[in-house]
Amino acid sequence: MSYKNSILVLGAGELGMAVLRSLARHAASRPGVSIAALLRLSTIASSDPLKQKDVAELRALNIELVPGDLADQSEASLAAVFRRFDTVISCTGFVGGKGVQLKIARAVLEAGVKRYFPWQFGVDYDVIGRGSAQDLFDEQLDVRDLLRTQTQTEWVIVSTGMFTSFLFEPSFGVVNLEQNTVHALGSWDNAVTVTTAADIGMLTAEIVFAEPRIAAQIVYVAGDTVTYRRLADAVDAMLGLKVERVQWSVPQLSGELAQQPGDSIRKYRLVFAEGTGVAWDKARTFNAQHGIEVGDLEAWMRANLLASEGVAHE
């Protein structure tokens, strides 16, 4: 089946590159499908070796590079850029600050784009609701409201949970290998859904091209859904450790946030500690229902921790 579908991906960070690679693989066998990436002009022309490497890879994948700046450009200016594309996929994250996600969504609608995948690659914002500790989440609900109250542009939301790597991010503090400690957010029985960036990229491309076509729907995916107890057990088992286990209670995290109300990491810790809308059963996910293999927690640890830790297993 061939049809025209010009796809624009906003951003080429860790997730954007994963999505672009997977879309390019699909496009190679689908006549009429073309892929483009919106990047800052400074990124396209950068002398930074890492950025040059990504730009060279995108060009090698036959991906068009479109200059644009989501934070600086006006809604009308972005709409003019988006207008020639059938599908727009936002992989920008929250780096642009408040208002950017809503501006992008409005520009998509103004441009008459046929299908939009907003930056919602995270938790279940509907379940968390408004007024959570992470104030950026309210804007995610504003975007959902905007998309749900119109019928011109099809929308698809991909709920992925947390990036698997974020559990091991030292600044987040859940797994701190330097201090040989695992912290439970809220409770050892609290669970969190995690998916790797590579798997999110692969699954997003599968969702884009799925038949029958997916529209006006939240699609749940998951690499794994783990309790903090299982996480600590996995760190012990795989790395041959006996980590110190420390529970961070909701009142404790709430108090820490009150002391530094602008601290984004403290906001995230409290939301995940409250345990609402941050985990779902892997059996009901798109990948499980379609028999698509993804990496679980232990697979990520084998690939990313064993080599870096230099752990010897007898």
φ and ψ at residue 203, rounded to 5 degrees: -70, -35
What is the share, in percent, of the chain residues with pLDDT greater than 90?
93
Asked whether the predicted pLDDT for residue 2 surpasses 50, the reply is no
pLDDT value of residue 4: 79
Q: What is the pLDDT of residues 237-292, one digit of tens each?
A: 999 999 999 999 999 999 999 999 999 999 999 999 999 999 999 999 999 999 99
> Which amino acid belongs to residue 274?
E
Averaged pLDDT, 152-162: 98
Is 278:161 a contact under the CB 8 Å cutoff? yes
| pLDDT at 1 (0 to 100) | 42
**What average pLDDT score do residues 36-46 get?**
95
Tens of pLDDT along 203-244?
A: 999 999 999 999 999 999 999 999 999 999 999 999 999 999
**Mean pLDDT computed over 195-202:** 98
- In percent, how much of the chain has pLDDT > 70? 96
Angle at 189 between CA 292 and CA 229, to 5 degrees: 75
Which is nearest to 183 in space by CA: 103, 248, 259?
A: 248
pLDDT value at residue 94: 75
pLDDT mean across residues, the chain: 95
Q: For the chain, what are the domain ranges?
A: 5-162+195-223+278-295
Helix (H, G, I), strand (E, B) or coil at 200: helix
> pLDDT per residue over 90-116, tens digit each?
999 876 778 999 999 999 999 999 999
pLDDT at 58: 97
Helical spans, DSSP H, in the chain: 14-27, 41-44, 49-60, 75-82, 100-111, 125-128, 136-148, 197-208, 228-239, 250-259, 264-274, 286-289, 297-304, 306-309
Local confidence band at 314 (pLDDT 50, 70, 90 cut-offs):
very low
pTM of the full structure? 0.95
Stretch (H or E) spanning 116: strand 115-117
What pLDDT does residue 93 have?
82
The whole-angstrom separation of Cα 192 and Cα 231 is 10
Q: Which CATH architecture has domain 5-162+195-223+278-295?
A: 3-Layer(aba) Sandwich (3.40)
